[in-house]
A = this chain, B = another copy of it.
Amino acid sequence: MGIAERKEKEKKEMRSLILDTAMRLFLEKGFEKVTLRGIAEEIEYSPATIYLYFKDKNDILFALHTEGFERFYRHQQTIRTIKDPWKRLRKHAQAYMSFALENPEYYDLMFIMRGPGEKIKADREWGAGMRSYDFLKQNIQDCMEAGYLPREDLDVAAFAIWSFTHGMASLIIRQRCGMIPKEAIPAVVNAAVDFMIEARKKQKQ
Chain A interface (Cβ < 8 Å from any Cβ of B): 30-32, 111-115, 118, 121-122, 126, 129-130, 133, 150, 152-153, 155-157, 159-160, 162-168, 170-171, 174-180, 188, 191-192, 195-196, 199-200
Contact = CB atoms under 8 A, between A and B. Distances in A.
Contact of A160 (B152, B155, B159, B195): B195
Q: Do most interface residues of chain A lie in helix, strand or loop, or is the interface mixed?
A: helix
Contact of A163 (B30, B121, B153, B171): B171
Given A164-B164, A179-B130, A195-B152, A174 B114 contact: yes
A196 B30 CA distance: 32
Contacts of A162: 167, 171
Given A133-B179, A166-B176, 18 more contacts: A32-B32, A111-B174, A111-B176, A112-B174, A129-B176, A156-B188, A159-B168, A160-B164, A160-B168, A160-B195, A163-B164, A163-B165, A163-B171, A163-B192, A164-B164, A170-B170, A199-B200, A200-B200
A160 B111 CA distance: 19
Contacts of A178: 121-122, 126
Nearest to A191: B156
**Residue in A30, A114, A155 whose Cβ sees the most chain B Cβ within 10 Å:** A114
A23 to B, nearest CB: 16
A150 B200 CA distance: 12
